[in-house]
Structure 1
Amino acid sequence: MTRRTFTWRDGLILVAAVVGIVVTFRLGLWQLSRVDEKEAQQAAMDAREQLPAIPPAALVAAREPAQTDPLLHRAVRLDGQWLPDATVFLDNRSMDGRAGFFVLTPLRLAGDAGVVLVLRGWAPRNFQQRDALPPVPTPAGPVAVTGRVMERVPAVFALGQESGGRIRQNLDLGAYRVETGLPLAATLVQQTGPASDGLQRDWPPPATGVDRNYGYAFQWFGLCTLMALLFLWFQVVRPFLRSPRA
């Protein structure tokens, strides 16, 4: 049997195959490491939700990330009065498969201890009149609100720059603070509990996105395997089958 000569072209193909296999395999491992990180974050969030409620003063005093991060997902109880004139309706938000608005209203804490923006709940939209605001009664007197601390409201895709007004796509807490002139806390509160004031609160658990990372890992490992199989077939198996035998 004649031995096949190893050429410079074979060398380039070998180097390219090894580099591609190593890179895609490492990328697959990196995606799995991201899964571990996100699962650890989820466990930390679940543990924080079981801790005792934080005092409102701690929520208002926290300004820097080093102060606010330990408070995220913690339970809190707020006593104060709504500021309904500053209510914002975030459009294109769904709950239980229905389209509508997220409703946010600032709450001035009792004793004028500060102002916290509260994600009060979800309200359905009027499909006959898309710019109509849903009826959301807002109590005028003192109220007690229970909820969990959030860093921000998840954003949705929007065309162009956000404008003011009652109905918006997204809300940036810093810009909203400047717009209203209110001494808002650096975080906001997602109200929990049964439906009230015409608002539903069937909040889904925070999504960590591990399914997406598993999908990316599968793709990278699949590509790695494909390159290895193609290299073996075209550079090893097929030349062997086609080579003359004594």
Structure 2
Amino acid sequence: MDGFPVLRKKTLAAIVLLILLTGICIAAGQWQLGRAHEREAIHAARLAGQQAPPLTLTTDTPAGPEWHRASARGQWLNPFTVLLDNRNLKGQPGLWVATPLALQDDPGAAVLVLRGWVARPMPPAVLPDLRAAEGPVRIQGTLLRQVPRLLDLDQLTGGEGAELPRPFPSLDGVPPRMQNLSLDALAAATGLRLLPVVLEQAPTQDVGLIQEWPGPSDNASQNYNYAGQWFSFAAIALIAAAAILWRSWRKPAAPSESDAP
């Protein structure tokens, strides 16, 4: 009799833990379904943008639409070039080169262009001359809402993260290196009226830069597989809880002292 209440407590604890595990697994499966739906939406948006007529960027260009083909005419603002660090290409460390392009119809306005990738030089080697060609140019590419971001440990721990130097451009003319760059920060540092979009340059000849851009992951099948696994775990945990509950009900009660001969 002394052991029976302890057994019931253990049984109840096991059932509660299995029910909690069931809820956690269901929540994880639902999160994976949400990620799958997000990736399907990104895939649909990319297809729609690729099939839409190309846009010509002007000062009236609104934010987005993302993934549309677009072009812009103007002149490069080389002094305002920024290097985006930790951007790998096929496993090789490198940098993205981002330079504003002053628009032809309004030189006071500009669009930030991701011009391409360059390998990170190993000391004592230095970066090549990354200044773009002078004079009027026509740039073609794909529209983005912002510069694709990487995880910034400084911001994750509550810090400000790297900032553009003051003054900018710096007196030595060396482009600053940053992990992430926002349009607001660049506009504040340069005084430019930046369009609320970023142009990801299409493959072209630009001082040896490589235009191979890592698009967002839009393969939803993996998330559906993960969701199925989590829901399977939830079913297993729920069945185990039901089995324990059933056995505890079916187990005959321990005889009391009054029933003893």
- Report the Cα offset of residue 143 of structure 1: 1.1
Q: How does 1:86-235 map to 2 (within 5 A)?
A: 86-112=80-106, 114-129=109-124, 132-160=126-154, 161-165=161-165, 166-208=176-218, 210=220, 213-214=223-224, 217-218=227-228, 220-232=230-242, 234-235=244-245
Aligned partner letter, 2:208: G
- Report the Cα offset of residue 221 of structure 1: 2.0
Aligned partner letter, 2:114: L
Q: d(CA) in 1 for partners of 2:150 and 2:34?
A: 27
Q: Deviations over 1:148-187 (max 9, x none)?
A: 1111122223343213241111111101100011111111
Most deviating of 226-235 and 94-103: 226-235
Q: Deviations over 1:102-123 (max 9, x none)?
A: 0000101113252111000001
Q: d(CA) in 2 for partners of 1:224 and 1:24?
A: 5
- Report the Cα offset of residue 144 of structure 1: 1.1
Q: How does 1:1-40 map to 2 (within 5 A)?
A: 14=15, 17-18=18-19, 20-21=21-22, 24-25=25-26, 27-40=28-41
Identity %: 31
- Report the Cα offset of residue 137 of structure 1: 4.1
Aligned partner letter, 1:125: R
Q: d(CA) in 1 for partners of 2:16 and 2:120?
A: 59
Most deviating of 39-48 and 156-165: 156-165
Structure whose CA Rg is larger:
2
Structure 1 gaps of 5+ residues are: none
Kept after mapping to 2: 8 A contact 1:75/1:148 = yes
- Report the Cα offset of residue 127 of structure 1: 1.1
- From the superposition, tell whether residues 140 and 195 of structure 1 become closer, same or farther in structure 2 (CA, over 3 Å): closer
Would you tell me which structure has more helix in proportion to its own residues?
1
TM-score, length-normalised on structure 2? 0.74
Q: d(CA) in 1 for partners of 2:238 and 2:220?
A: 27
Aligned-partner SS, 1:40: helix
Aligned partner letter, 2:163: S
- From the superposition, tell whether residues 211 and 178 of structure 1 become closer, same or farther in structure 2 (CA, over 3 Å): farther
Aligned partner letter, 2:144: M
Aligned: 1:78 with 2:79: no
User: Partner residue of 1:50?
Assistant: 51
Q: Deviations over 1:207-228 (max 9, x none)?
A: 2474674465255324313412
Aligned partner letter, 1:119: L
Aligned-partner SS, 1:105: strand
TM-score, length-normalised on structure 1? 0.78
Structure 2 gaps of 5+ residues are: 155-160, 166-175, 255-261
Kept after mapping to 1: 8 A contact 2:96/2:114 = yes
